[in-house]
Amino acid sequence: MESIAALIFSLLVLGSVVFLLRGKGLREKYAFLWLFVGIACLVLTAIPGMLRSVTSLIGVQVPSNLLFAMGIIFLTGVALHLSWEVSVLEEEARTLSEEAAIGRVRLEELERKVEALSSAVGEAGRTAPSPTAPSPTAPAARTATADWQPQRPAD
């Protein structure tokens, strides 16, 4: 009975890893780890005498202690790995936010400059029209100024 429960559990682990890997975007580098765990569980449950023989081979007295020890070592490793991954992600987020901030301030400076320039162009078009032939570009420049609105990024 217990072995059937264990078999179902290891199949569940394997199934969910495959499911996440196929559709839900679980990255391969993490999937490998859990596939290994699932397969190890499956092997241990499918061959009933295996855990006992491995235990006596290593010199551990109680089979369940070997399982627990392996589990603790494995989970510690996973936790450490995830902490490291989070640190890398934080550093990446930091770099991105720096880039976003610098990009934004330079964009705003450019917007101000463009605004100043286009209003200067509009001003020149109004105050100094050519007396003989009105320049065709001046009105165009003026409408462009009127239409153009700086796009403020949404906060």
Partner 1 sequence: MTEVRSKVRFPAATKVLVIMPAWNERACIGNTVREVIGLGRNYDVLVVDDGSEDGTPELAEAAGAHVLRLPFNLGVGGAMRAGFKYAHRMGYDAVVQVDADGQHDPKDIPAVIAGLEHSDISIGARFADKGQYTVSGPRKWAMRLLAAVISRIARTELTDVTSGFRAGNVRAIKQYLKHYPAEYLGDTIDSLVVAIRSGCVVSQTGVEMRPRQGGQPSHNPAKSAIYLVRSMLALLFAMTRGKARTTHESDI
**Alpha-carbon distances of 4 from 52, 147, 149, rounded to whole Å:** 17, 73, 69
Instruction: Give the nearest distance from C-beta 71 to partner 1 in angstroms.
Output: 31
- Contacting residues for 14 by C-beta, under 8 A, at least 6 apart: 35, 38, 39, 42
Size of the site for partner 1 (CB under 8 A): 10
CA distance 67 to 10: 14
DSSP letter at 54?
Answer: H
Instruction: Give the nearest distance from C-beta 101 to partner 1 in angstroms.
Output: 5
Assess 101 for contact with partner 1 (CB under 8 A): yes
Binder of partner 1 out of 100, 110, 116, 117 (CB under 8 A) = 100
Contact window for partner 1 (CB under 8 A) among 57-65, 78-86, 100-108, 120-128: 100-108
If one counts every other C-beta atom within 10 angstroms of the C-beta of residue 107, the result is 14
Binders of partner 1 among residues 18 to 77 (CB under 8 A) are none
Binder of partner 1 out of 54, 105, 120, 140 (CB under 8 A) = 105
CA distance 130 to 155: 45
Task: Please report, as ranges, the residues that interact with partner 1 according to CB under 8 A.
Answer: 90, 94, 97-98, 100-102, 104-105, 109
